[in-house]
């Protein structure tokens, strides 16, 4: 996978490329990383990348010519790469989109600044618009890094077999189970007994239960569109029975049955 980021603040990417799994992926040639300074493609003495908006108003707009020059230079480096503009107006990024992007050969990220990018660039030179979420950043750089980060860890050989992407949140549509490490007792709180037992089947069962209940409590929307396996249904039914028992035996209860 070839990543190219177009920005007027290339230094923002330096520490990103230089740390952790991203750095290792570059060293092992699982990905290649390039930052292109849009200012290098300005044509005037003062290297101006913005201009006043037609129609008036406050704020500035990114001039089309430097961006066009930078995109064309990037496309030469990665001819089969798709161009992506990071904008709140794009398709909202998620793990499924990350999986799709991970299967492509190259991605060119166009990072806007100021109030926005001249519409003719968006229209002519951008293949996809992606949003990392419903909020407004001061530029596309952080969003580009988020997308690159999520895509990189899905590329085969980037993560070790140990912490493979298959095992984490969303690979099965559920949140991760709770994690514990030493010490066994921390500020009076104990690690769940079963995790010390060495009984792998019981541990797997506990982890699925932890995943399911955390998803139900923290992100019930994730369960809405997901089919449940027989085992998952049994776990949720057991919890429903336990909860109902508590409700029915509570002193103020009127004996109303929970409908589900
Ligand atoms: N949200 N997801 C986002 C963003 C900043 C002005 C256009 C987002 O991806 N990008 O807020 N981007 C703006 C800044 C130019 C992009």
Q: How far is the CA of 134 from the centre of ligand 1 (A)?
A: 10
CB of 60 within 6 A of ligand 1: the answer is no
Enter the pTM of the model: 0.94
Q: Evaluate the CA torsion angle 118, 123, 128, 133 in order and state its sign.
A: positive
Q: Which is the catalytic residue, given 11, 115, 190, 242? A: 115
Q: Is 176 a catalytic residue?
A: no
Specify the pLDDT at position 171: 81
Q: Is 209 a catalytic residue?
A: no
Residue 82 · residue 108 · CB < 8 Å: yes
Q: Is 163 a catalytic residue?
A: no
- Shortest-distance atom of ligand 1 to CA 87: 10
- What are 112's two structure tokens? 């806007």
Please give the C-alpha separations between residue 65 and each of 7, 41, 88, 116, in angstroms, as whole numbers.
14, 8, 23, 14
Specify the pLDDT at position 166: 67
Q: Measured between alpha carbons, how far is 131 from 94 in angstroms, rounded to an integer?
A: 10
Specify the pLDDT at position 219: 97
Q: Is 245 a catalytic residue?
A: no
Specify the pLDDT at position 87: 98
CB of 135 within 6 A of ligand 1: the answer is yes
Q: Measured between alpha carbons, how far is 38 from 65 in angstroms, rounded to an integer?
A: 10
Specify the pLDDT at position 122: 86
Closest CA to 152 of 41, 33, 236, 40: 33
Specify the pLDDT at position 34: 98
Q: How far is the CA of 50 from the centre of ligand 1 (A)?
A: 16
CB of 6 within 6 A of ligand 1: the answer is no
Q: How far is the CA of 141 from the centre of ligand 1 (A)?
A: 8
Q: Measured between alpha carbons, how far is 4 from 106 in angstroms, rounded to an integer?
A: 8
Contacts of 241 (CB under 8 A, 6+ apart): none
The stretches in the chain having pLDDT less than 50 are: none
Specify the pLDDT at position 251: 87
Q: How far is the CA of 113 from the centre of ligand 1 (A)?
A: 8
Strand order in the sheet with 32-37: 32-37, 2-7, 106-110, 82-92, 128-131
Specify the pLDDT at position 135: 98
């Amino acid at each position: 996978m070839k990543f190219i980021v177009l920005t007027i603040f290339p230094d923002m990417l330096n520490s990103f490329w230089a740390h952790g799994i991203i750095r290792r992926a570059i060293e092992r040639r699982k990905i290649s990383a390039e930052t292109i300074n849009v200012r290098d493609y300005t044509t005037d003495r003062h290297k101006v990348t913005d201009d006043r908006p037609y129609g008036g108003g406050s704020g500035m707009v990114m001039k089309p010519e430097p961006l066009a020059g930078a995109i064309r230079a990037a496309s030469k480096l990665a001819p089969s790469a798709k161009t992506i503009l990071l904008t709140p107006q794009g398709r909202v990024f998620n793990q499924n989109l990350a999986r799709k992007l991970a299967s492509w050969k190259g991605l060119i990220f166009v990072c806007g600044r100021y109030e926005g990018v001249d519409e003719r660039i968006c229209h002519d030179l951008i293949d996809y618009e992606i949003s990392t979420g419903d909020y407004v950043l001061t530029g596309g750089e952080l969003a580009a890094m988020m997308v690159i980060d999520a895509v990189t860890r899905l590329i085969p050989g980037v993560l070790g077999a140990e912490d493979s992407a298959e095992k984490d949140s969303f690979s099965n549509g559920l949140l991760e189970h709770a994690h514990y490490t030493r010490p066994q007792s921390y500020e009076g709180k104990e690690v769940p007994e079963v995790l010390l037992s060495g009984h792998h089947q019981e541990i797997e069962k506990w982890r699925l239960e932890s995943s399911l209940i955390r998803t139900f409590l923290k992100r019930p929307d994730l369960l809405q569109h997901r089919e449940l396996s027989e085992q998952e249904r049994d776990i949720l039914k057991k919890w429903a029975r336990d909860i109902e028992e508590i409700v029915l035996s509570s002193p103020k209860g009127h004996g109303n049955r929970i409908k589900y």
